[in-house]
Amino acid sequence: MDATTRHTALGRLVPALLVSHVGYYIAVITPVQLLLTLKLTAIAGGAATGVFGVVAGLGALAALISHPIAGRISDRTGSRFGRRRVWILAGAITGAAALALVGLSTTVWQVALLWCAAQTLLTLQAAATSAVVADQVPADRRGGVSGLIGMTLAVGPLAGLALANGFPAGSAAQWTAVAVATAIAGVVTVLLLRDAPAQVVAEPWGVPALVRTFWIDPRRYPAFGWACLVRLLVTCAFAGNTYYAFYLLQRFGVTQERLGPLVLRLTLLSIVMIAVTSVVVGHLSDVTGRQKPFVVFTVLVGAVGLVTLAVAPSLPYVFVSAALLGTGTGAFVAVDLAMCVRLLPSGIDAGRDMAIAGTAGSLPQSLVPFLAPPLLALGGYPALFLSLAVLGLLGLAALRRVPEAGREREAPAALADRPV
């Protein structure tokens, strides 16, 4: 934590972080899980699957590019409103406006453009919120707080789907409801959070500064580099849930009228497992002082869930898979954030550094939609889900190079630039 931070009492800080994350996940996951499918099916008909891959991939790519820039901006913001708070509010409000406009769009290019705009603007909120964890959460509480934040990965989509299903399927009102919830979450967050402006001299924006925004030398900070690679590979394994809607439509012939409620039930089951597992694993991580065994558990449970989904002969097996994937996701998010914060190269540039770690987590949302069409053409949904399981298992190889909590001296360069 750097000296420029005005600390928030933990009783206010944790609710602020949770509200911001819930609002962000409502905004970015609900459309991917349901609303974009309905929107593009209405516009593109039978070509919707391929179009969805392009639109979702472009949106994730926009978030990928903008996330580190957003983090760097918040690191260097001198606003009296606070270097993090101003961007949490601005990102939530402007991102919500873009989401509402997606609901009014009538062509594929409009959907693609507005979805990319929404993803870009919402990274302002996401990057600033992640930096607050590094700024203000005490080291001995990060596991528990990470577990609670991990629970929002379940609560956000559930709340978003519940809101969307309260309005006619495919209507603009669904997008408006999601947008309003996102904006409200941003406002509540900044009312709870205390923050201070940066007290460092802003680095001029030029080519060298821009390159450093997107890059941390893994040779100088190997532990952080390996932690980001673990996040990338393991998150790829869980990114296949964006194809739940198409999977149910095409594999089991689910009608559009049944699709929303069915996706909501699957999401609710996943949420319960994520909520329970993230809180329990976050607590166990703080108590034991270890993180890596829980990542191993994540990958193995996730691989079993993906194999189950690949060979599922009926809908009950899909629910079993959702439970397993929710368990794995909950275990991972409970320790992943704490592991990345622990290995941050710099306390001063926490926003930029956490945004790069966030990029490793958001890149799968771009990679998987681009990889999915050829994999589906090659071997259908079994090829897609089994390939994602393999990527998750590769994450275990990268995990071997990450020092366990308390053993950072095995990779001293990982903390070389931390302020004393």
Q: Is the pLDDT of residue 310 over 70?
A: yes
Other Cβ atoms within 10 Å of 249 Cβ, number? 18
Tell me the mean pLDDT in the region 307-326: 91
- The reply to whether 263 falls in a domain is yes
pLDDT confidence band for 300 (50 / 70 / 90):
very high
Percentage of the chain with pLDDT > 90?
28
Residue 172: pLDDT over 80: yes
> Residue 419: its pLDDT value, please?
36
**Mean pLDDT of the 54-75 span:** 82
117 falls within a domain = yes
How many other C-beta atoms are found inside a 10 Å radius of the C-beta of residue 27?
30
Whether the CB-CB separation of 369 and 241 falls below 8 Å is answered with no
pLDDT confidence band for 2 (50 / 70 / 90): very low
Q: Are 158 and 132 in contact (CB under 8 A)?
A: no
Kindly report which listed range (53-57, 205-209, 259-263) carries the lowest average pLDDT score: 205-209
Least confident stretch, 57-61, 156-160, 243-247, 362-366: 362-366
Asked if 68 contacts 354 with a C-beta cutoff of 8 angstroms, the reply is no
Task: Give me the pLDDT at residue 64, please.
Answer: 79
What is the Cα gyration radius of the chain?
20
Q: Which of 217, 216, 221, 218 is nearest to 413 (CA)?
A: 221
Contacts of 58 (CB under 8 A, 6+ apart): 112, 115, 116, 366
CB 131 within 8 A of CB 74: yes
Asked if 178 and 27 count as a contact pair (C-beta separation under 8 A), the reply is yes
CA 384 to chain centre: 21
Total count of domains within the chain: 1
pLDDT at 416: 38
Q: What is the DSSP string of 6-20?
A: -PPPHHHHHHHHHHH
Query: Which CATH number covers residue 46?
Result: 1.20.1250.20
pLDDT of residue 417: 40
pLDDT single digits (tens) 90-123: 999 999 999 999 999 989 999 999 999 999 999 9
Q: What is the pLDDT of residues 337-352, one digit of tens each?
A: 778 777 777 655 666 6
- Over residues 386-408, the mean pLDDT reads 84
Whether the pLDDT of residue 136 is over 90: the answer is no
- Length of the chain, in residues: 420
Is residue 1 in a domain?
Answer: no
pLDDT for the residue 168: 86
Interval 178-237: pLDDT, tens: 999 999 999 999 999 887 665 554 555 555 555 555 556 666 778 888 888 898 899 888
Distance (Å, whole) CA 317 – CA 63: 33
Query: Residue 82's pLDDT is what?
Result: 74
Q: How confident is the model at residue 157 (pLDDT cuts 50, 70, 90)?
A: confident
Is 420 part of a structural domain of the chain? no
Has residue 5 been placed in a domain? no
* Angstrom distances, CA of residue 396 to CA of 116, 228, 295, 303: 32, 13, 8, 12
Quote the domain boundaries for residue 179. Answer: 10-415
Instruction: Answer yes or no: is pLDDT of 159 > 80.
Output: yes
Residue 45, pLDDT above cutoff 60: yes
Q: What's the angle, vertex CA 80, arms to CA 208 and CA 3, rounded to 5? A: 65
pLDDT at residue 321 greater than cutoff 80: yes
Confidence at residue 99, expressed as pLDDT on a 0 to 100 scale: 96
Residue 4, in any domain of the structure: no
Taking residues 165-190, report their average pLDDT: 92
Mean pLDDT of 6-18: 81
